[in-house]
Amino acid sequence: MVVPAQLFGNLDTENAVANIMFCADSDCPEQGMLHWWGQDVTPGAALVTCHPRGDNAFDLHPFNWYRANDSGALWLPGLSPEESEHLSGYCGELYKTGKGFEGRWNHSNGLGGKIVLQAPDCSTHIKADVCETWDEFKKWASRARDVSDAAIFRGHGSNSFRLQTTLHRAGRHRLERYCSDDLLQFRGHAEAVLGLRFDLNNADDYAELLGLAQHHGLPTPLLDWTRSPYIAAFFAFSDAFEFSEARKNATHIRVYGLSRKFVQDMSPFRVTLPYFKPYISCISISPRNNPRLYAQQGQFVVTNIADLESYFHIMERNSGEQILFAVDVPIACAVDALAGRCKTPKSRASRSPRYSISHDFPPGIGFPIPF
């Protein structure tokens, strides 16, 4: 049995019921990170081994315990012999159900509790508007900014694609592993090519390295957005043309928009990537050594959530406010769009500030929101 990559649920602790998130990487299915948080619960995470037991069950055994510091970042402390012995006393067992997994955790001291984990409902899709012509899209873009107050936009070469980072599309969900392995390797390549030194204790250097990784093909937990709906549409049409042979059934591109209120609420000045609970954050990164980022009016959404559309749906249902907008445009409209028959209107949004990115262990960026 393959352990699912990302699950959410709850767990009975010794003092209260905790919210939990389970994350595993497809290239390392024998391990997973179990995150926990909640009222009257000390947040943290444990790295666990996952041992399949037949087709419908697996056992969990923790072997590393991560604590959360004051900013919520996970870090790996040195455990005392007593703490190591206490950690080794835990074990868990999960059984497959119709919606996910259920089971129990137990400790050698006799304590135990229930575990429930479920996969998000990936059938949730945003209801997109449809524009049949490029002129209709221009009207939609004006309404999105002036009426719906959308602040940033993103384009997809096919309307069948979902909002998902390249890291999650690669089957990677453990951000602590990504920060300590992949990003450090990329730093070595970037320094060799650019002749620069990236100090990962420096917030600007760390953010710049992530931006370079995103624009040079390394899977990251970032999604590119832009302040211009026309730039978003340009990249969507360009992508549709480039991969037209591989996508015979694709008929429409999609452009997403995010509300200004959401962008402002989720744009903190101090952020960290490996966080103890689910989050979405909107950030700006300096275009230093990355002129393409400057030309694209680029901004980023960073997240540890694999299925963002389902998550946005939950947020909209809880708040009663629309956060995510979308429009589908026929790929055939690319002739008009890419021919430059319209001038890209100047965005009325002011340039967003850059943010201070904290360096915790492991280093990174992000910001929490309740799940």
Reported as a single tens digit per residue, the pLDDT across 161-194 is 999 999 999 999 999 999 889 989 999 988 998 8
3-class DSSP assignment, residue 367: coil
Mean pLDDT of 123-132: 88
Mean pLDDT to the nearest integer, 66-87: 91
pLDDT of residue 345: 42
Q: How many CA atoms lie within 13 A of 89 on its CB side?
A: 12
- In this prediction, residue 336 carries a pLDDT of 86
Q: Does position 341 have pLDDT exceeding 70, yes or no?
A: no
Residues constituting the chain: 371
- In sequence order, which residues have a C-beta less than 8 Å from that of residue 370 and are 6 or more positions away? 277
pLDDT digits (tens, 9 = 90+) for 353-364: 343 343 333 333
- For the record, the structure tokens of 36 come out as 């926990």
- The pLDDT score that the predictor gives to residue 125 is 78
CATH number assigned to the domain covering 6-118:
2.40.128
User: Do 178 and 167 meet the contact criterion of CB atoms below 8 Å apart?
Assistant: yes
- Is pLDDT above 50 for 343? no
Write down the pLDDT at residue 4. Answer: 62
Q: Would you state the structure tokens that stand for residue 188, as one six-digit string?
A: 């070595």
- Mean pLDDT computed over 311-324: 92
Rounded CA-CA distance 334/6 in Å is 37
- The pLDDT value given to residue 291: 60
Specify the pLDDT at position 351: 39
What is the percent of the chain with per-residue pLDDT over 70, rounded to a whole number?
86
How much is the pLDDT for 347? 39
152 contacts: CB under 8 Å, gap ≥ 6: 225, 226, 227, 257, 258, 263, 282, 299, 349
pLDDT at 284: 75
Q: Cα–Cα distance between 328 and 18 in angstroms, integer?
A: 40
- Is residue 50 within 8 A of residue 24, CB to CB? The reply is yes
The pLDDT of 270-291, averaged and rounded, is 76
Q: Are the CB atoms for 58 and 50 separated by under 8 Å? A: yes
Q: What angle do CA 66, 70, 71 make, to 5 degrees?
A: 90
Question: What pLDDT, on a 0 to 100 scale, did the predictor assign at position 294?
Answer: 54
Q: Which of residues 206 and 274 earns the better pLDDT score? A: 274
Can you give the pLDDT at residue 55? Answer: 76
Residue 121 one-letter amino acid: D
At residue 195, the 3 state secondary structure works out as coil
Which residues is 302 bridged to in the sheet?
222, 281
Buried b (16+ CB within 10 A) or exposed e, 96-109: beeebbbbebeeee
- Residue 360, pLDDT score: 39
Alpha helix stretches (DSSP H) within 54-127: 81-88
Mean pLDDT estimate for the chain: 85
**pLDDT at position 300, please?**
86
Tokens of residue 147, six digits: 């009426």
Cis peptide before 362 (omega within 30 of 0): yes
Q: What is the mean pLDDT of residues 89-102?
A: 92
Confidence of residue 339 (pLDDT cuts 50, 70, 90): confident
Structure confidence at residue 269 (pLDDT): 66
Alpha-carbon distance 224 to 207, whole Å? 14
User: 62 or 208: which carries more pLDDT confidence?
Assistant: 62
| CA–CA separation, 367 and 276 (whole Å) | 10
pLDDT at 1 over 80: no
Q: Say what the pLDDT of residue 239 is.
A: 94
Q: How confident is the model at residue 215 (pLDDT cuts 50, 70, 90)?
A: confident
pLDDT at 14: 81
The secondary element (H helix, E strand) that includes residue 7 is strand 6-12
Crossing angle between the packed helical segments 229-242 and 134-146, to the nearest 10 degrees: 140
Q: Residue 291: which residues within 8 A CB-CB, separation 6 or more?
A: none
| 275 touches 256 (CB < 8 A) | no
Average pLDDT (16-25) is: 96
Please report the pLDDT score of residue 209 as a whole number: 86
Mean pLDDT (whole number) for 105-110: 95
User: 320 in the Ramachandran plot: left (φ > 0), alpha (ψ -120 to 50) or beta?
Assistant: left
Model confidence at 371, pLDDT cuts 50, 70, 90, reads: very low
Percent of all residues in the chain with a pLDDT value above 90, rounded to a whole number: 60
Q: CATH 2.40.128 residue ranges in the chain?
A: 6-118
Q: Where are the beta strands (DSSP E) in 28-127?
A: 28-37, 44-52, 57-68, 74-75, 90-96, 100-107, 112-118
pLDDT at 120: 81
